[in-house]
Chain A
Amino acid sequence: MLIVDQELCIGCGVCEASCAFAAIEVVDGCAVVGDACTLCGACVESCEVEALRIEGAEKTQVVDISAWSGVWVYAEFRHGQLAQVALELLGAGRRLADARGVTLTAILMGSVTGEAAQILIGHGADRVLRIDRPELLHFSDEAYGAILTELIRKEQPEIVLAGATAMGRSFIPAVANILGAGLTADCTRLDIREEDGALLQTRPAFGGNIMATIVCPHSRPQMSTVRPKVMRELEFDTSRQGEIVDVAVLPEWLKSRVRVLESVVTDQDDVNIQEADILVSGGRGLDSEKGFVLMRELADVLNGSVAATRAAVDAGWIKYPHQVGQTGKTVAPSLYIACGISGAIQHVAGMQSAETIVAINRDKDAPIFDVADFALVGDLYEIVPKLIRAIEEQRRA
Chain B
Amino acid sequence: MKIIVCVKQVPDAKDVRLDPITNTLAREGVQSIMNPYDQHALEEAVRLKDELGAEVVVLTMGPPQAGEVLRQAIACGADHGVLVSDRAFAGADTWATSYTLAQAVNTLGGADLILCGKQAIDGDTAQVGPGLAMRLDIPFVTCVQKVREADASGLVVERMMDDGYDVVAVDYPALLTVVKDLNIPRVPSLKGKMRAKKAVLQTLSAADVGADPALIGLAGSPTQVVRVFPPEPRGERTVLSGTLDEQVSELARRLSAYL
Contacts and interface: CB of A to CB of B under 8 A. Distances in A.
A41 to B, nearest CB: 5
Contact of A261 (B30, B94, B156, B231): B156
Contact of A302 (B170, B217, B239, B259): B259
A386 B179 contact: no
A248 to B, nearest CB: 25
A387 B248 contact: yes
Q: Summarize A's interface: helix, strand, loop or mixed.
A: mixed
B53 interface: no
Given A207-B124, A265-B163, A177 B237 contact: no
B163 A390 contact: no
Given A42-B24, A374-B254, A266 B169 contact: no
Contacts of A79: 163
A259 B162 contact: no
B222 A20 contact: no
Interface in A340-390: 344-346, 349, 352, 356-358, 369-378, 382-383, 386-387, 390
Contact of A215 (B143, B162, B226): B226
Interface in B118-159: 121-131, 133-135, 139-143, 145, 156, 159
B43 interface: no
B258 A264 contact: no
Interface in B39-54: none
Contacts of A373: 234-235, 237-238
Contacts of B108: none
A272 interface: yes
Contacts of B143: 166, 170
Interface in A297-338: 302, 320-321, 326-327, 330, 334-335
B188 to A, nearest CB: 20
Contact of B90 (A39, A215, A344, A376): A39
Contacts of B230: 209-211
Interface string B213-243: 1100111111111111111001101111000
Contacts of A181: 222
B227 A212 contact: yes
A30 interface: no
B18 A265 contact: no
A197 interface: no
A88 B17 CA distance: 31
A204 interface: yes
Nearest to A45: B228
Interface string A166-180: 110111011011101
Contacts of A176: 95, 127, 131
Contacts of A184: 223
A325 to B, nearest CB: 9
A182 interface: yes
B31 to A, nearest CB: 11
Contacts of B218: 1, 39, 54, 56-57
A205 B13 contact: no
B208 interface: no
A209 B223 contact: no
A205 B142 CA distance: 21
A345 to B, nearest CB: 6
11 contacts: A38-B91, A40-B228, A41-B225, A56-B219, A173-B125, A173-B134, A259-B169, A357-B234, A376-B251, A387-B251, A390-B252
Interface of B: 11, 13-14, 16-19, 22, 24-27, 30, 36-37, 63-65, 87, 90-91, 93-95, 98, 121-131, 133-135, 139-143, 145, 156, 159-171, 174, 179-181, 213-214, 217-231, 234-235, 237-240, 244-245, 247-249, 251-256, 258-259
